[in-house]
Chains A and B, each alone.
Chain A
Amino acid sequence: MPKATFEARYENLGRICEFVSSTAKRAGLDDSAAYAVELATNEACTNIIEHGYGGEGDGQIECSIEADDGGVTVVLLDWSRPFDPSSVPEADFEVPLEELNPRGAGLRLIRGSMDEVQFEPIPGNGNRLTMRKSR
């Protein structure tokens, strides 16, 4: 299983996305599906940096991606504070432009891009996010 660890910094988002996107394409996902994997991974890593680690610092993100006959599975591990997705209010964008608030946009993109998404806090030791994209 291809695996890599990255410093949790925004400047690494491109490298993390290239890592998952290239693996997804090699596994035979079409351009649209590979882009979806890239988008979800980008949004998840951005949330880990911004909300998990509270900004860029000394944290790390471990990213692995496994391909099988049905698609690809991306697993992101971090060592930040526990994340409970139910604590994030559902994004509401059916409002006038002036009232728009970005809270929840990333989570909506993750769930909308992938076929399966599972957040698991690892007690005392960060979080595991598993995301599955079918062919």
Chain B
Amino acid sequence: MVETIRMEKVDVVKAAGRIDSHSSPELKDAFDVLLNDGRNKLVFDMSEVEFLSSSGVWVLLETQKRARRRSKGDLVLANPSDNIKKTLDLAGLMHFMKIFDGVDTAVAGF
């Protein structure tokens, strides 16, 4: 369900389906592998994510915290659905997120 694509400077993590308390540990593991390896420029491709719960949002924010502790590090989102953007807005957490319409533009943003 979670796939990691390592590139020269930026890494892309892609997930599909539901991200909830059952599946979010797998997503966290994927990000932790990269962060523990010193990789901190991260794009999360959400084009196939159908549902994001608060536990998934929290994985993204914790990953963002860790990524930003290193120079020029960040986690940015690519292609979230309108429903997911609304979830972030309802939670009052949208202002922490950088959102791009495509993976290529997200990667180029670093």
Contact = CB atoms under 8 A, between A and B. Distances in A.
Interface of A: 10-11, 13-14, 17, 31-32, 35, 38-39, 42-43, 46, 49-50, 91, 93-94, 97-98, 100, 102, 105-106, 108-109, 112-113
B59 to A, nearest CB: 10
A13 B83 CA distance: 18
B24 to A, nearest CB: 9
Contacts of A32: 82-83, 86
B51 A17 contact: yes
Interface SS of B by simple majority: helix
Interface residues of B, number: 23
A97 B98 CA distance: 13
A10 B20 contact: yes
B68 interface: yes
A134 B82 CA distance: 19
Interface string B56-81: 01100100110010000000000000
Nearest to A93: B92
Contacts of A112: 90-91
Contacts of B22: 10-11, 13-14
Contacts of B90: 108-109, 112-113
Contact of B65 (A31, A43, A91, A97): A97
